Structure 1
Amino acid sequence: MIMTTLEAGHPAGRTPVRRTTIGDSLVSRQLSRFVGRAAEIAVFGQALAGTLDRTVLFVHGPGGLGKTSLLRVMRRLATEAGRRCHWVDARSLAPVPGAVADALAGARARGGEPAPVVFIDSFERIGACGRTLRQDVLPQLDKDSVVVIGGRRPPDSGWRLDGWDQVVAQLPLAALEQADALALLAAHGITDGAVAGRLGTWAAGSPLALTLAAGAYLATGETRPQPTTVSALFEVVTEAELDPAFHDALTVCAIAREVTVELLRQTLPNSAEAAFAWLAERSFVDSYGDALALHDVVRMPVLARVRDRRPERVTQLKRVLCDHFYGRAVAGDAGALVDLAHLVDTPEIRWGYRWEGSSRFHTDRVRPGDAEVVGRELTARGHREWWAASEPYYAGRPANVTVARDAAGSPVGHAIFLTSSALPACERSDPFGARLLRHALRLSPDGRAVVWRDTVDLVGDGSQVLAMLNLSVVLRMEVRNPRYALVPAFSHNHRVRAFCSTMGGRQVPELETVFDGRRVLVYLIDYGPGGLYVTQRDVVYRELGLEPPAAGRGFTAADVRAALESFATVGELAESPLARGVGSRERADHVRALLRSAVDLEFGETAHEAQLRTALVRRFFDARESHDKIARSMSLSRATYFRRLGEAVDRLSRHIVEAQQP
């Protein structure tokens, strides 16, 4: 998922029309408490006016110093100056090649309007993409564009080379001055000068610590909080801030990668909007776009706390989240796999299949010179024959290669994945890969078997390289939701073998071989009729001590049609084979969410597609209007309306069934 927020300015002669979002309301409330940073804001003002000889501003400093708040103030100033803003939060970028470039694709000036202002927040999550920004993205922006990057670390050395030192201005954030610290405390209700002075001394100018210290004082009257870290102080603050009515909201926020109103509707259907608003007001919750996430320094303490105090409820809510992300995945939203992977706790699986953002590495396509770097490294480590079989893919099948890079742009690993379309190329240059593919085709003549030909981590220090590469491959390969995976593993590589075994893989002795004097094992992972998505869901279920839904519990097109007919009836919908969850209401809500999500994914934006969508939604989802009334309102003859409705039902049924079954 790529989360961007576009804000229109006010070009001369017209006033843009823009809906106000939940995110807008959150930001307005947060900015009402913003204080200080006058020097940084002044520099931004100069850049905005074109009087600064720098166009890229790099705001950096440790967590808790208010970088995101400062960027939001700058965005508001830019909007008031009539500049369109393009906001990207790095926390929401998927680990796939081109994610950064795609996120900034709309950051171009439109006819006659000033160049936009680009904001990239939480850059530490994608710090390794700096080279991509410098070489491929920022040079394509209009010359009058202003770019503001916020992150925890100073810009790396690449931002000082090739002329970038004449473009980039650093804005390091320090602790707030005393006057600003006192103003922030006053904004949080601390007006007693003596109390504010003691709290300000304790917090040492950190906006987050000041906010939490204010909460601790209001809760306990303590002006010198005993905890000496922000994460420990969180325990004191939440005693005051935690309304028992919103225990579940905090639990969901602790478990999920990010929280939206839509996600809360799945877990807390009777209080989603109120829960979202409550979370947004917490001092320890960050907002970006229309999503919320716990601040990094308190996420683990929160999760440990809710697990310790409410283990049964944590299990219930995590299962509901698992079902929701699984439902989105089978309905066609592959990005939900990132959220589903986030729920996995098993160390052997997290090591090889997960992504949480990385300041050190990112995934990319093959570029000139990559083969030489990877080949040199593998050859030096005694894998000359293995590399000789892998190298042809770089030139002959680059689409089957995903490269991991460090911040300098150097390859630090790769993943080579094969599907049936690669067999002719393998026959010519990689007999081992061809043998694996032929076996895969025997397993699945319809092409739902994938060969993980190679995954290499050249760093080897427990880094995120392998986990990032594997998840990236799943998100971009042409076989969606594979049934089988064949994974070669050198016999000495115990971590890969443990990963395969934990995923249910078994060795296939007849496929074993030897490269560079080392035995290469081959594991077959059979994900079952429901494919990889079901396996991901079942891993989470088993971690929770729950029995996964019965294997082979697929549903048919008739089941989908029956669910549409029962859409308004909780009892009938809860009995549908599509249902997941505990209790009639939860199971019915799951089916409704699955159907609505499938409609959004299946139907496009043309006039014909709009008619299909309208006929289906108004007949089944809304008030079940009569056929005649719907046909008249759509200006269609009765016969044409029924053709549209029948086509819509058929397509929706096929979409859901094909996503669920082989």
Structure 2
Amino acid sequence: MYEGGGALGDVLEAARERAFVGRVGELALFRSALAGDPGSCPVHYLHGPGGIGKSTLLRRFAREARRAGRAVEVDGRTVVPTPQGFARAVGEAVGEPGLVLIVDTFEHCQGLESWLYEQFLLGLPAGSVVVIAGRRAPDVRWTSDAGWADLLRVTALRNLPPEDAARLLHARGLGTGAHQALLSFTGGNPLALTLAAAVAAREEAAREQAVREEGVTSGWKPSRDVIATLLSQLLGDIPSVAHRRALEICAHTYVTSETLLRALMGEEAPELFAWLRQQPYIEPTDAGLVPHDVVREALEADLRWRDPEGFADMHRTVHQYVLDRLRAAPEEKMLPATSSLLYLYRREASANFRKWREGGLVEDGFYEEADRGRVLELAEIAEGAESAAICRFWLDRQPEGFRVYRSTHTGEIVAFFAWLRLREPSDPGIDPVVEAAWAHARSTAPLRPGEHMSMSVSAAHFPDRFLAQKRSPRSGW
């Protein structure tokens, strides 16, 4: 509650100051430009999807610039999108030495970009600093211009890293008990964190009461209001039902290619894929398109609630496509191909392994004989000597079915995974889980000549199976 004297605006600024977290690198670059340090760039272009924190960061920039009496702020939403309209918004300050021009929501006047870098910026006095922020990346003609190489700094804003996201939640008054659930849902997106924290903080007391009185232990889940607000802020206008469908498919699948869209949506696929590719919340990868985590989670949660039958139908269709691709995959691509199928069941499987890999914490590679000792060590850490003995049995017989996962920071093997190809039962008493799988297969669908049974020895099929972390052991064999 606000109490005491002073201007309300000052109180608001102080509250924003306390709530601001992270963006250390971006702040350092701006302060260097503001100070006129040698080698600093006078023009900074920030881009990223809605909710990533562009406006919050620009407010921080403006606050620091105002202390030096140099800030001019322009909001692209209120600018008449013509050269004359933009010039009027900047005003007479355009000719003042040491100008700091801060332009937010530039996507609303993106058509001025060529004029901006070919004419307007060139007329600013030496010593000026310009910061432009919008959802779209700058035009390649600008970034590839050799003349601008030492003058322009382009920054793609990303989600907050876990430590900064936790600090934001703490600043919002949220206890640590709810942090993991919120971080998992939001992926570190600042807007999602803020909205979810506001709801979770109100619910925290009631949830703690339920835990004490009824033993309820379910964690935080996003409310309908949170999801609806996120979608409207993150996605903006969606042109058609088909575009919405393409987004939902993209959210549900591990990675989306034009081939996948064509199989599911027919001849509209090229147009829809091109549209997806242009969206600021979609990242292109070597294999196809991947949405930002918070967009993926919000779309999935909204469709599950809004149209459960439609969600189930889409899931069945995607599942069949992915399964057909998996069956057709050559031997050397079998393990990577399983990722797309396992991803469809990511909520039923242990989440830690996938988060490690997708978060860039580990990189996978083929098992080599030199890795044997570490793999056996991990199996024993997880569940003891008996599990290590089972692991040794399969390493001796199917070493080609193993993959190891190394920490990207230390290079140490922190996890392993196996895809066993079973053509006949192993000796009794060796692996009780494999024996149970054979018993189930014989009673339900016995193998026909030429067929084999594949078994993923991982969290995907047997919770926490075959996965260990030295600092926090998980169950293994």
Q: TM-score by structure 2 length?
A: 0.42
Q: TM-score by structure 1 length?
A: 0.32
